[in-house]
Structure 1
Amino acid sequence: MAPLFTCPFPQANSGLKGTAANVIPSAPRAYRRVMFWVFVLIEDLLENQVPCPPMRNKTSKMKPEVAIPATLPADLRDLRAFCLVVDHGSLTAAARLLHETKGSVSRRLTRLESGLGISLVRRSPRLVQPTEDGVLYRQRVGRALELLEDATNALTEARGHPRGRIRVTAPPDFANTVLAPAIARFCEAHRDISLELLLTDRELDFDGHQLDIALRMAPSLRDSSLIAHRLLDVRMGFAASPAYLAREGSPRHLADLAKHRILMMRHDNGPGGIRLTPSVVAQDGAFLRSLAVAGTGIAFLPLAVAEPDLEQGRLVRLLPDLDSGHRFSLYLLHPAAPLVPARIRAFRDFMAQEFPIPGRSR
């Protein structure tokens, strides 16, 4: 049979006045789209027709019966009753779960079977069993009702109290230094949210690793479908321990660095494109900071990572006039969605408050 619909959602000027066209008019478009297809699927189920998949063209004609307000609300309750009866094999159990009488559930089944012209269940004094048609019908109806429940849950979660788990990836050095205090305060403020952190310098795929949020260091971000929020800009600079400087002397000019052991995050140019020959190269800025505190050499590293040690005198800033200025930014990324879950919004907004000046340098 030819598909009844060719459009993923009716346009605003389609003139539809019924249930399928006016499901929670104030709800976001994505929610109404899902609800529309739920109603289409259920209506087609009731007439033994196969629902069409969403298409990309924008022409739309809706079957008039779908827009009759008096049909679908009763059908949904009847369908729920049918599914519960099949699942539990009992009118009594279904009635208890629906908070209705056994007679009311029985009438719902009768009305559904009469409308379809098909026997869906076999009744006996001890058991209610689905017919062969009833088994197939239960499978398809179940998918429609699950879709409806998922849409409702998504809307409730997006607008409700933040709760649940957030899976976050972040670079280890910044997670252990800059981010840890902020995350600790977030956990204290949102006790109904749990965090799972994947600490790695690798750029993990959101779908492959089931990520909710990524915190990434980069000079700039390439174009993608992700929503990005810049939390802070990071400067690179030189630092060493007082013990190292007492032993090896303090460099006063750029040329003096050739006499010292240099610790760097990569084989890279220093400030102003100056070529440095490192003694130790490591991707983790926190590891270089630890080496510098231990007196291994002069570290060229993100100053935000070394800030606590600089404040407490475990490290000393060197050659501040040669600081590289803005080299990297810390970004918070999450998937673009019409309905961003409340827990994701809570984490995003909290981090924006923790780092309130996007353009500041650390």
Structure 2
Amino acid sequence: MGNKTAKTKPEVAMSATTPDDLRDLRAFCLVVDHGSLTAAAKQLGETKGSVSRRLSRLESTLGVPLVRRSPRLVQPTEDGALYRQRVGRALELLEDATDALKEAQGHPRGRLRVTAPPDFAHTVLAPVFARFCEAHRDISLELLLTDRQLDFDAHQLDVALRIASSLRDSSLVALRLLDVQLGFVASPAYLEREGHPRRLAELTAHRVLTMRRESGPSTVHLSPSVVVQDGAFLRSLALEGVGIAILPLALVEPDLSQGRLVQLLFDQDSPPRVSLFLLHPATPLLPARVRAFRDFMAHELLKQGRGPRVS
């Protein structure tokens, strides 16, 4: 059997971490960027001599010449140019970490990138999103409406709203916002043509339409004729009389009230409930804009205890 690679803790740099070290590094980067000691000194609020001493101290510590000085121009050596690139990235990461910490304790602002299922966003979440935008004018809400489970890192997500019966274990923090009641629905034309099933077991003789994210009732084996990932498209198929659809009742409530679809009620079990979950990264430095959105959604959808009945 091969040896398993042991997990190691992140290393902590033991050098170049004092305030003076950081000032020296910033001075070096600015000198290279401006090609001038004078310009770098002006931006740092220091004298030209002070910046020169910082450069000399850094070169002495590293044992490598970083710049070539002339009366008119200061240029990086080959080693200096490479060092500038790496030091610049490190300083940017440090600045990002500092800004994130400040933002986590400050006023919610900036871009908030959220993914949500399109059908549910249109029917249930749009009014909540509108109230959030009105309450938090300094937050720019960017919505990615899709039933696909997007990767947080690849799509630079802050929050994901997902409908599922349960969630797989992950590194994300999940908040269950509300339960969503599913139901069997069909068009009057389909029922007139194919017959009106009175018992759950009779669905095996019908064309059943469902979403991939849902599962059929556990009391009867169903072999769906159509499986899609878009609830709005599934509703359209049901309206066209293609078959009996398993859909969130909130999505088809206007169709039911106006007679375009009929809900099939059985004495046996109805389709299982699914839930709307809010997910965000598990980090102690959660940005204020993410906390504001999470808390707002929880307040709006959980204010009736278990959340509003979506049916």
TM-score tier (shorter): 0.7 to 0.9
Compared CA separation, residues 240 and 139, structure 1 to 2 (3 A): closer
The answer on 1:309 being equivalent to 2:272 is: no
Decide whether the 8 Å contact of 1:42 with 1:141 is kept in 2: no
TM-score by length of 1: 0.66
Q: Which runs of 5+ in 2 are unaligned?
A: 1-7
Q: Does 1:205 align with 2:151?
A: yes
TM score, norm. by length of structure 2: 0.75
Cα distance change, pair 141–258 in 1 and its aligned pair in 2 (3 A): closer
Q: Say whether residues 1:339 and 2:285 are aligned partners.
A: yes
Q: Within 2, Cα distance between the matches of 1:282 and 1:324?
A: 20
- Of 177, 194, 211, 1:231 maps to 177
Matched, 1:253 2:231: no
Match of 1:42 in 2: 16
Q: CA RMSD in A?
A: 3.9
Structure 1: segments with no counterpart, 5+ residues: 1-5, 10-35, 44-71
- Rounded Cα–Cα distance in structure 2 between residues aligned with 1:272 and 1:75: 65
Q: Distance in 1 between matches of 2:150 and 2:53?
A: 54
- Cα contact 2:197–2:203 (8 A) shared by 1: no
The answer as to whether partners of 1:170 and 1:198 remain within 8 angstroms in 2 is yes
Q: 1:264 aligns with which of 197, 201, 209?
A: 209
Tell me, yes or no, if structure 1 residue 194 matches structure 2 residue 168: no
Q: 1:157 aligns with which of 93, 96, 103?
A: 103
**Matched residue type, 2:210:** M
Structure 1 residues 1-362: aligned runs within 5 Å: 8=10, 37=13, 40-42=14-16, 72-112=18-58, 120-131=66-77, 134-135=80-81, 137-191=83-137, 192-200=139-147, 202-240=148-186, 244=189, 251=196, 253-254=198-199, 263-265=208-210, 271=217, 273-275=219-221, 282-293=228-239, 298-311=244-257, 314-319=260-265, 321-322=267-268, 324=270, 326-356=272-302, 357-358=305-306, 361-362=309-310
Aligned to 1:51: none
CA shift in 2, pair 1:203/1:77, >3 Å = closer
- Aligned to 2:166, the other structure's residue is in SS state coil
- Structure 1 Cα separation of the partners of residues 298 and 203 of structure 2: 41
Deviations 1:171-198 (A, max 9, x none): 3332332333333333343343231404
Contact 1:186-1:350 at 8 Å conserved across structures: yes
Whichever of the two has the greater Rg, that structure is 1
Are the equivalent residues in 2 in contact too, given 1:162–1:193 (CA < 8 A)?
Answer: no
Deviation for aligned residue 1:354: 2.7
Structure number with the bigger relative contact order (C-alpha 8 A, sep ≥ 6) is: 2
SS of the residue aligned with 2:111? Answer: strand
Amino acid at match of 2:37: L
Structure 2: distance between partners of 1:285 and 1:240: 14
SS at match of 2:275: strand
Give 1:117 deviation, angstroms.
Answer: 6.7
- Greater shift after overlay, 277-286 or 156-165? 277-286
Query: How many aligned residue pairs are there?
Result: 299
SS class of match (1:77): helix
Counterpart of 1:68? Answer: none
Distance in 1 (alpha carbons) for counterparts of 2:225 and 2:66: 78
**Match of 1:95, SS?**
helix
What is the alpha-carbon distance in structure 1 between the residues aligned to residue 278 and residue 81 of structure 2? Answer: 47
Aligned sequence identity (%): 67
Query: Deviations for 1:310-362, whole angstroms, at most 9, x for unmatched residues?
Result: 45665444426556164322222222222122232232222222321446642
